[in-house]
Structure 1
Amino acid sequence: MNIAVVGAGAIGSYLGGMLSNESMNVSLIARGEHLKQMKKNGLTLKTNNHEKTIKATFTDSMDAIKGADLILFTVKSPDTLKTAREMMPFVKKEASILTFQNGVSNEEVLADLYGEKQVLSGAAHISAQVAAPGAVKQEGNHLFFIGSLSDDNCQKAEEVVQLFENSGINARSSDRILERKWRKSLWNVTFNPLSAVTGAAVGEILDSPELNKTAELVLKEIVEVAKKANIKVTKKAIDQVFSDAALVRHHKTSMLQDREKGKPMEVEALCGYFVKKARRLEVDTPVLETLYSLLTFIDVRKG
């Protein structure tokens, strides 16, 4: 089986490394120093149980997608449309494109270009980071949910789940994958924009009475948007947002990490999309609106 990982950062490299074996032809499309080191020394993959060096195809060329049966799409959300268009000439019609990205808007972009039947959606619950160029570290438990956008493509999602499981990746299928991604977004929208604006880690938000109250207001707003969009949100899912945050107190959110590194933040995927959705649904989101305004200004000023 031929697999291509487009945007091989932390999660993409982890998946590509785990899937790489004698029966899999895996290509990781990356860039920068991470790519340079992988080309030179292979990918060093550190997990809870072991450390290994992965030998695969490492490249920055979309040519690596040719012949791929499965494309793991793990680019940052601001690059979704541009990257999806760039790879179109190389994607065969039988290939499945599985997105593991933040937010719930990337599926719409990919489906518009490739059709719902060719796109699978995934929700990644994992702590992984590029510890150094060419080296990815994964800690703690992990779980990947995978589902189809089209009812007649459920079997393909099941096959990918089995592929992951056979490679030592914990995975489950979901027949309501977008609903699950909305539930994951409760946490992301509550903590990512606020941390990116303030520079606060998760624990600092929890410990500050002012920031904690702001986070509670954001959560309340995003829950109202979800309900108005007919997304089922349980009390357990809502309560879990802050209890999960307490488990990762020292964590810097992905948006804050991007801001500190001078990279484009996922402003639209983790804030703007939900603000605009709220406007269409006539839901008031004053706190999210404010955060969106601030983040947009920060990104524009940063250039």
Structure 2
Amino acid sequence: MKIGIAGAGAVGGYFGAYLKQAGHDVVFLARGKHLEAMKQSGLTIIENHDERMTIHGVFTEDLSSFLDASLILFCVKSPDTRATAEQIKSLGNDDSIILTLQNGVDNEEILIDIFGEERVLSAATYISSHVEKPGVIKQEGVVKLIIGALHEAGVPTCQQIADVLNEANIDTAMSDSIMESKWKKVLWNATFNPLAALSQATVGEILDDEELRMTAEQVCREVLAVANKNGIPLGEKMLDVTFKKAEFARGHKPSMLQDRLHGKQMEIESLSGYFVKKGRELSVETPATQALYSNLLFIENGQHVVKR
């Protein structure tokens, strides 16, 4: 199978490497120093400190390489979703299946708008990985995908893709309510990602600081309220579940914090702004989330001011 990896960073590069090792024709879309390093020396995956594999393949910034791909893993940052999707759509490949492994619960709406509901699959992605240096991805802990179709017509295809992923040693399960699974995952992200990015604290520091923890718990309650009002039945117990999961990631610097530290654009809209705006739409108050959102927007806009 020809597979395109739209965004061969910490997540896309990891899964693409396993698919390449399994014998698939994989095209990795990347840019900058990461792309140049992969072109020169291949892509190296380091797992659990000492397990290492290096794969060689097609590394490019030319989206036309996706023209005849049967499957595209959509792994770009949320702010790039629409532009990247429209470029892929313009290739005229109307048969490819799009599987989003992105954060948030809003990217599906954009992808459905561009590709149609039957072609889009979604995944709740459980992985702790980062680009250690250009061309090298480091991953620690357990990796798991939960994938599902967004339209009943896509269920058979979803099963086929799940089989492909499992055969490539990627632990993958199917869900008949994938968006509920995604909301459960985004609950953790919306609680810890924006707060970590703003405070520059690790997950453990948020848990141990009384004031930061109170803010995190309030944000979690607000996102839960938005989910339930939006028709996603998440019980109050999900607050405890979310914080118990956080205990296993104490040393982790969430992706938004990593982006801020590296001067990259943060996923502010998908992991914060979406819940503020959806809350307004549904008449759910989100004051703590609003405070994080407005502060992060101010910080990011300031980073892009041209200094004279």
Structure 1 residue 270, shift from structure 2 partner: 0.1
What do the CA deviations read for 1:263-299 (whole angstroms, capped 9, x no partner)?
1110000000111000000011111111111111111
Identity of aligned residues (%): 46
What do the CA deviations read for 1:205-248 (whole angstroms, capped 9, x no partner)?
11111111111111111111111111011344331111111111
- Residue number in structure 2 paired with 1:28: 28
- Residue number in structure 2 paired with 1:41: 41
Q: How does 1:197-216 map to 2 (within 5 A)?
A: 197-216=198-217
> Does the aligned pair in 1 maintain the 2:196–2:202 contact within 8 Å?
yes
Q: TM-score, normalised by structure 1?
A: 0.97
User: Is structure 2 residue 104 aligned with structure 1 residue 107?
Assistant: no
What do the CA deviations read for 1:60-115 (whole angstroms, capped 9, x no partner)?
10011010000001000011111111222225111101011110000100110110
Q: Distance in 2 between matches of 1:216 and 1:2?
A: 44
Structure 1 residue 5, shift from structure 2 partner: 0.2
- Residue number in structure 2 paired with 1:221: 222
> Does the aligned pair in 1 maintain the 2:67–2:92 contact within 8 Å?
yes
Amino acid at match of 2:51: H
- Residue number in structure 2 paired with 1:116: 117
Q: Distance in 2 between matches of 1:275 and 1:90?
A: 35
Q: Distance in 2 between matches of 1:286 and 1:162?
A: 43
- Residue number in structure 1 paired with 2:66: 65
1:300 match: secondary structure = helix
- Residue number in structure 2 paired with 1:133: 134
Amino acid at match of 1:197: L
Q: Distance in 2 between matches of 1:227 and 1:129?
A: 32
Judged with a 3 Å threshold, the aligned counterparts in structure 2 of structure 1 residues 22 and 266 are, in CA distance, closer, same or farther, namely: closer
Q: Distance in 1 between matches of 2:92 and 2:199?
A: 41
> Does the aligned pair in 1 maintain the 2:224–2:236 contact within 8 Å?
no
Amino acid at match of 1:47: E
Amino acid at match of 2:153: D
Runs of at least 5 residues in structure 2 that lack an aligned partner in the other structure: none
> Does the aligned pair in 2 maintain the 1:193–1:270 contact within 8 Å?
yes
> Does the aligned pair in 2 maintain the 1:67–1:91 contact within 8 Å?
no
- Residue number in structure 2 paired with 1:299: 300
- The count of residues paired between Structure 1 and Structure 2 equals 303
Q: Distance in 1 between matches of 2:70 and 2:83?
A: 21
Judged with a 3 Å threshold, the aligned counterparts in structure 2 of structure 1 residues 236 and 56 are, in CA distance, closer, same or farther, namely: farther
Q: Distance in 1 between matches of 2:125 and 2:211?
A: 30
Judged with a 3 Å threshold, the aligned counterparts in structure 2 of structure 1 residues 22 and 120 are, in CA distance, closer, same or farther, namely: closer
- Residue number in structure 1 paired with 2:278: 277
Q: Name the stretch that deviates more: 222-231 or 40-49.
A: 40-49
Runs of at least 5 residues in structure 1 that lack an aligned partner in the other structure: none
> Does the aligned pair in 1 maintain the 2:5–2:16 contact within 8 Å?
yes
Q: Distance in 2 between matches of 1:153 and 1:9?
A: 27
Q: Distance in 2 between matches of 1:235 and 1:113?
A: 35
> Does the aligned pair in 2 maintain the 1:193–1:291 contact within 8 Å?
yes
What do the CA deviations read for 1:108-132 (whole angstroms, capped 9, x no partner)?
0011011011111011001111111
> Does the aligned pair in 1 maintain the 2:217–2:239 contact within 8 Å?
no
User: Is structure 2 residue 223 aligned with structure 1 residue 190?
Assistant: no
> Does the aligned pair in 2 maintain the 1:68–1:91 contact within 8 Å?
no
- Residue number in structure 2 paired with 1:14: 14
